[in-house]
Structure 1
Amino acid sequence: MSRVQAEVESHYRSQLVETIRGGGGVMRRGNTVVRLAKQFGFCYGVERAIDLAYAARKVFPDKRISLLGEIIHNPDVNAQLSSMGIRHLAAHPADADIEELQAEDVVIVPAFGAEVDTVAAIKARGCQIVDTTCGDVMSVWKRVRQNANEQVTSVIHGKASHEETRATASRALGPKGDGHYLVVLDTKETEMVCDYIRGKGDKNAFLTRFWNAHSKGFDPDVHLRRIGVANQTTMLRSETEQIQGMLRQAIADRDSGSTENFRYFDTICGATQERQDALFGLLDESLDLLLVVGGYNSSNTTHLVEIGEKKLPTWFIRNASCLLSGDEIKHFDIHQKLEVITRGWLPQKELLTVGITAGASCPNNLIEDSIKRILELRGETE
């Protein structure tokens, strides 16, 4: 593993980022100041997943290795694995894809985990499985399994189509497959659930709204009697807490003040929370703009963008290539859900302070590249 970690570091480490961190997270070059959040970039779970993927290539040099979807939500990291001969299966492979696997194949399960049926089907093919699932994700699985065993429906705060949420939902069915779950995206959807719990909802409208976000056979009249809140580990903590409070109050209102039929466990990923807290701290500084670096499909990175947008101009970029010029930037608009080009993004002022953060799936070398590009556009010497 020491050789593996050395190779990983050679691909993703940044001496510049480490130097800035060692200087209190601040660097000044000429009239440009760069401030880094205290916590950003790779977390332990991501590092472990990448290390295991690299190790799999070394341990099985002559075997065909497949990865379920993406190891993490960062295109540069996934491209690096592809260059090492690790092929990508669909995150939710069709039966034909699984049947094409051979007993001598190696299959990597990503950091988000995978659905129970998918893993079982791969095992049935006789494949060697390298499981890189994050420990924080497995902690959530433990809670939703407990809910299923006690006939408690898991209400999962997350994105219904996200790999992690789908994996968690499959565990919420329990070992007998008779458990139930409901996925809510935000407080707006939660309000609809609360209304139904209080007896104000329409069943057909409810099931139509959540048609792709509940377990088979889910009946809100039956399965919202006892609920337990869980979450996709990369969601915004404040929103998860708000959703938990809304559902708890709805149960109390229905049950004459009792919350016996409600349970909640704090399962927000520690690294996700650290990065959100660190960004709040960075935003207390005097900044002219914020760059958030990471994969556009990264949930925890998207939430950093949401936090930043509330206070100052915030630009969500995949890497330094998005900084097209001092006038134009290519960035991801989280509201339109597409990549756009905006002009006039870089303020033309004598002293400019740029804040930078990144999600848990962004390597430091991409942050270094972005810093160097900023300095280049400002005409500074790095």
Structure 2
Amino acid sequence: MDESASTPKPQPKPKKRKRVNVRRPDVMEMVQAEVAEHYRSSIVEKVRSRGGQISIDNTTVYLAQQFGFCYGVERAIDLAYASRRVFPENRIFLIGEIIHNPEVNRQLREMGITSLEWRELTAEYDDLTEDDVVIVPAFGAPMTFMEKLDELGVIVVDTTCGDVMSVWRRVRGYAKAGVTSIIHGKAGHEETRATASRALGPDKTGHYLVVLTLADTEKVCDYIRGNGQRDEFMKYFEGSYSDGFDPDEHLKQIGVANQTTMLKSETEEVQNRLRAAIVDRDGGDATNFQVFDTICGATQERQDSLFDLLKRPLDLLLVVGGYNSSNTTHLVEIGQEVVPSFFIRKAECLRSLEEVIHFDLEAKEEQVATGYSAKFVSDEPVTIGITAGASCPSNLIEDTIVRIFELRGISKEQVVSA
């Protein structure tokens, strides 16, 4: 008898992704100089130091008190730049985009950092080796992606925002307690997909449902109160719930969480309506409802600062940032309620005083607005407000300020001297 044939062969140990600390003092000194060169603005810093206002002749520009890069975004960019410094010869990859800003992502591509598909695990992941570096973006990545990186044993630089990880801890707690996570967010957004995967819990037996609008929330509330039809409900939310989700079973106990960049007032309304539905169903008892505020502090600050800015008599508001940026989109929504507001990617979107290329939120496409105000082509005084989401660098704000004044016949040199 061949004993070797009956003796089981030892199984290879599973690989583990290698986490590294790239924030070394010697590296970060160089990184911060690079980041400052690429993204900072002396003009913006001076305007901010003087109360956020610059006036020349008959043109005034106000900056929101809080706008642009937040700590989490700065950290993610620093880590991406540091990765190239620490691993100058390695191939470096990034799951999707580091943040939602085309200028920042362009800079990373020029540094030789290659984007991987973020919607699904494609064949390109199988080609990664143990010497490759993979950057996890500020939004995080779903557990299936992290498990794949474990399997491959690659070097991982994780830039996930701390506020996002706080939400993950919350939804994991819901799953452990048998509570279904109701996630206020965009089902296809990178952050929400990452959060939803954590809502399954470590044993993947938890459940989640994603709601985006108050209309979505009302559908859930109606069902909780016993007024919905199961088939219609499942069809309406198709693609927005966990495998095996059953509204008759999994809406008995719910806990609310959110994509950290949502509009704060809307998230609060979602929470209030869901709680009211549970209380109505359970005879005044709110035991089966849980909620924790998981809106990002920087997102809230930027929204609050815009509300303050809108108290001024503005003729126009410009919101600068990437069109796929959730927190920037919500700033546009706030502005549109008060003053003509345009969502622009960069200063070049201001073609002239009569034309602006902007992203229309309703049409979900870039459009050209013309003739929005006769004041801009006259000698009348004009007041323009500017804000930006947490993923917009200051150099793009500077370009926008300069462009406004140039279109009003005022040179960049005059702006600098002012």
TM bin (shorter chain): over 0.9
Distance (Å, rounded) in 2 between the aligned partners of 1:85 and 1:345:
42
Structure 1, unaligned runs of 5 or more: none
Contact 2:136 2:156 in 1 (8 A): yes
Distance (Å, rounded) in 1 between the aligned partners of 2:381 and 2:354:
17
**After the TM superposition, which residues 146-185 of structure 1 pair with which residues of structure 2 at under 5 Å, given as runs?**
146-185=173-212
Distance (Å, rounded) in 2 between the aligned partners of 1:238 and 1:226:
24
Aligned partner of 2:115 in structure 1 is 88
Aligned partner of 2:9 in structure 1 is none
Distance (Å, rounded) in 2 between the aligned partners of 1:45 and 1:194:
34
Are 2:134 and 1:107 aligned? yes
Structure 1 residue ranges (4+ consecutive) displaced by more than 4 angstroms after TM superposition: none
Secondary structure of the equivalent of 1:176? coil
Aligned partner of 2:14 in structure 1 is none
Structure 2, unaligned runs of 5 or more: 1-27
Are 2:74 and 1:47 aligned? yes
Aligned partner of 2:409 in structure 1 is 379
Select 1:351's aligned residue among 365, 371, 381: 381
Distance (Å, rounded) in 2 between the aligned partners of 1:365 and 1:123:
38
Aligned partner of 1:328 in structure 2 is 355
Residue 179 of structure 1 and its aligned partner are, at CA, apart by 0.1
Letter in 2 for 1:288: D
Aligned partner of 2:5 in structure 1 is none
Letter in 1 for 2:383: T
Secondary structure of the equivalent of 1:379? coil
Contact 1:320 1:373 in 2 (8 A): yes
Distance (Å, rounded) in 2 between the aligned partners of 1:103 and 1:93:
21
Distance (Å, rounded) in 2 between the aligned partners of 1:360 and 1:23:
21
Distance (Å, rounded) in 2 between the aligned partners of 1:125 and 1:345:
54
Distance (Å, rounded) in 2 between the aligned partners of 1:248 and 1:222:
17
Superposed CA offset, 1:316-372 (max 9, x none): 000011111111111000111000111123533411000000000000000000010
Residue 106 of structure 1 and its aligned partner are, at CA, apart by 0.3
CA RMSD of aligned residues (A): 0.8
**After the TM superposition, which residues 229-268 of structure 1 pair with which residues of structure 2 at under 5 Å, given as runs?**
229-268=256-295
- Aligned residue pairs: how many? 382
Superposed CA offset, 1:291-327 (max 9, x none): 0000000000000000000001000000011111111
Aligned partner of 1:369 in structure 2 is 399
Secondary structure of the equivalent of 1:168? helix
Superposed CA offset, 1:85-120 (max 9, x none): 001111134341210111110000000000001111
Distance (Å, rounded) in 2 between the aligned partners of 1:338 and 1:161:
18
- Largest Rg, 1 or 2: 2
Secondary structure of the equivalent of 1:341? strand
Secondary structure of the equivalent of 2:140? coil
Aligned partner of 1:306 in structure 2 is 333
Distance (Å, rounded) in 2 between the aligned partners of 1:295 and 1:367:
13
Are 2:304 and 1:277 aligned? yes
Select 1:121's aligned residue among 144, 148, 151: 148
Are 2:162 and 1:135 aligned? yes
Distance (Å, rounded) in 2 between the aligned partners of 1:375 and 1:261:
56
Distance (Å, rounded) in 1 between the aligned partners of 2:389 and 2:157:
24
Distance (Å, rounded) in 2 between the aligned partners of 1:2 and 1:174:
39
Superposed CA offset, 1:100-145 (max 9, x none): 1111100000000000011110221111010000000000000000
Secondary structure of the equivalent of 1:87? strand
Distance (Å, rounded) in 2 between the aligned partners of 1:94 and 1:332:
30
**TM-score, L = length of structure 1:** 0.99
Secondary structure of the equivalent of 2:363? coil
